[in-house]
Amino acid sequence: MKSIFLVLTAGVLLAANCGKKQSTEEFLEDYGRKMCYKAVECAQEKMKEVPEEQRAMMESMIPTRGKCDKAQEEYKKKQASEEGKKIELSSSEMELGKKCLASMEQSACDEMQSTPEECVEFNKVMAGKH
C-alpha cells in the first residue's frame, strides 16, 4: 500500500493531453490526476465493504475527485512559486510513466496490492528528480 501511495504522490504533479506532444508538465499533471482518480475509485469500492454505521465516520477521510483537483491546483501554485525547480523527463522516462499509468488504469482495485514493475521503475525515476 505504501508503494501505491508513492506512485500517487509522484503523480500529484502538473495539463491534459491535447493530441500534441506533451510537455513534462502536461504529462505529470495528467498522470497525477489519473492516479488520484484511481485511488478515489478504489477507496469508494472498498467503502462498500464497510458497515453502514462506520461508513459515515470514514467518508471524510477518503479522497474525492474534488480533492484530487484541489491538490493539483495547489501543486501548480507551488511549482509556479519555485520557478527554478522544474522537473524534466526524457521521452523514455515519460514513456515509462505512461506504461505505469496504463497498467494502473487497467488494474482492478483488488489487484493493486502490489505495485506493477513499470511503476516501481517510474517511482525510482521520479525520486531522482526531486
The predicted structure's pLDDT at residue 92 = 94
Residue owning grid cell 493531453: 17
Q: One digit per residue, pLDDT tens: the chain, 130 residues?
A: 444 444 444 444 333 333 457 888 889 989 999 999 999 999 888 888 889 888 888 887 888 899 999 988 888 888 777 765 778 899 999 999 999 999 998 989 888 778 888 999 999 999 988 6
The predicted structure's pLDDT at residue 112 = 78
Q: Which domain holds residue 82?
A: 2-129
Alpha-helix residue ranges (DSSP H) falling in 12-116 = 24-47, 52-59, 65-81, 91-106
The predicted structure's pLDDT at residue 91 = 92
Number of structural domains, the chain?
1
Quote the pTM value. Answer: 0.74
Residue owning grid cell 465493504: 49
